[in-house]
Amino acid sequence: MNVLGIESSCDETGVALVRCEGPGVPRLLAQALHSQAEMHEAYGGVVPELASRDHIRRVLPLTRQVLAEAGLALGDLDLIAYTRGPGLAGALLVGAGVAVALAAALQRPTFGVHHLEGHLLSPFLADDAPEFPFVALLVSGGHTQLMRVDGVGRYELLGETVDDAAGEAFDKSAKLLGLGYPGGPALARLAAFGNAAAFELPRPLLHSGNLDFSFAGLKTAVMTRVQKLGDNVCDQSRADLAAATQEAIVDVLVAKSMRALKDTGLRRLVVAGGVGANAMLRETLDRQAARRGARVHYPPPALCTDNGAMIALAAALRWQHGLLVPEPDAAFDVHPRWPLEAVAVA
């Protein structure tokens, strides 16, 4: 079974092909990704209308590219999957429209995938794939959640952010420091030259007793430090503040993840989403998990960002587990706001 996956929830257009061959993990045949980061950099953030228009330009050429790389024709496709939500409404509609039209033309079924389920399952495409059950840390620009995962479609929310996500804290702090877009990677690069001990920053909800997150207060603290430093701030002070910001975010994410492992009694942690590519986060999680006899699994670096492979994989795994219900021909909708628990099964 060949599954085409289309991702267009925000500022990356991703298309990929996976193949199901028996009961094993589906195999990635080909993928292509276009990032809009350069286009949005001039505005300091994603402009939804520009994002939607760029998806329109990119999705069909990328589809042709992955088909050619996989050595397949349109007629070889068995299922068309797309990101139904959450995300930007206009951007989601581009992927949904192309997927449904293509499925109708080919007389193939189509299926709308939850974006976070795609991230959640993406580590199964890594060489060191996890096994169920596990705790998942979903950490990206718009989402920070801890989930208990007992199988495909079997998700229990353990905790989530009450305001800003970790990725937002990275991006907004980077903007305050005058760094480029996307801010998270730029802040991490600058932090490598800084001394985190030079600034004392809060760790919101670190000792709350639950598994919820909050990063809005940290962003405000960074803004206060930047204002106190003034316009003549030196490069070293900026690097120090970047290092302190990164350390504060990582401390909270690691502490909550370790608590989730303790509370559930599980020994596997899966980390997915763009922030999961942060080197300091990975190093700290690996070290702390090893002390507890636990293991941490990550998606391949190329699949940490939004991509079509995770969408195709999620649909393929649901099909393998008998959880995929194809949608009616020529009927589609999108869900810009869509909790992951809504796609969980009993």
Q: Do residue 189 and residue 222 come from a single domain?
A: yes
Count CB neighbours of 305 within 10 A.
24
In tens, the pLDDT along 143-179 reads 999 999 999 999 999 999 999 999 999 999 999 999 9
In a domain, 206, yes or no: yes
253 with 309, same domain?
A: no
Residue 2's pLDDT band (cuts 50, 70, 90): very high
Do 103 and 33 share a structural domain? yes
What is the model's pLDDT at position 45?
87
| 229, 337: one domain | no
Residue 334 belongs to some domain of the structure: yes
Segment 292-297 mean pLDDT? 97
Q: Is residue 41 part of a domain?
A: yes
Residue 19 one-letter amino acid: R
| Strand duo 79-85 + 2-7: pairing | parallel
So what's the pLDDT on residue 147? 97
Q: How many domains does the chain have?
A: 2
**Is residue 251 very low, low, confident or very high in pLDDT (cuts 50, 70, 90)?**
very high
Instruction: Kindly state whether residue 251 falls inside one of the protein's structural domains.
Output: yes
209 in the same domain as 148: yes
Q: Do 140 and 288 lie in a common domain?
A: yes
Same domain, 154 and 250: yes
Segment 177-196 shows an average pLDDT of: 93
* 126 within a domain of the structure (yes/no): no
Kindly report, residue by residue over 49-90, the tens digit of the pLDDT.
999 999 999 999 999 999 999 999 999 999 999 999 999 999
Identify whether residues 145 and 53 lie together within a single domain.
no
Alpha-carbon gap, residue 168 to 176, rounded angstroms: 12
The 3-state secondary structure of the chain reads CEEEEEECCCCEEEEEEEECCCCCCCEEEEEEEEECHHHHHCCCCCCHHHHHHHHHHHHHHHHHHHHHHHCCCHHHCCEEEEEEECCCHHHHHHHHHHHHHHHHHHCCCEEEEEHHHHHHHHHHHCCCCCCCCEEEEEECCCCEEEEEEEECCEEEEEEEECCCCHHHHHHHHHHHCCCCCCHHHHHHHHHCCCCHHHCCCCCCCCCCCCCCECCHHHHHHHHHHHHHHCCCCCHHHHHHHHHHHHHHHHHHHHHHHHHHHHHHCCCEEEEECHHHHCHHHHHHHHHHHHHCCCEEECCCHHHCCCCHHHHHHHHHHHHHCCCCCCCCCCCCCCCCCCCHHHHCCC
- 263 plus 330 within the same structural domain: no
* End-to-end CA, the chain: 26
CATH number, residue 86: 3.30.420.40
Is the domain of 229 the same as that of 311? no
pLDDT of 273 over the 80 cut: yes
Q: Kindly indicate the confidence band of residue 180, based on its pLDDT and cuts at 50, 70 and 90.
A: confident
Residue 107 in any domain: the answer is yes
* Together in a domain, 81 and 6: yes
Is 326 part of any domain? yes
Task: Give the pLDDT score at 25.
Answer: 86
94 and 187, same structural domain?
A: no
- In this prediction, residue 233 carries a pLDDT of 82
Confidence of residue 43 (pLDDT cuts 50, 70, 90): confident
Bridge partners for 156 per DSSP:
148
pLDDT for the residue numbered 329: 59
What is the Cα gyration radius of the chain?
A: 20
Structural domain span for residue 259: 132-298
pLDDT for the residue 111: 94
Which residues have CB under 8 Å from 292's CB, separation 6+? 258, 261, 262, 267
The pLDDT-based confidence of 181 (bands split at 50, 70, 90) is confident
pTM (2 decimals)? Answer: 0.94
Q: Is residue 127 part of a domain?
A: no
What does the chain come to in residues? 346
Last residue of a domain, one of 261, 278, 298: 298
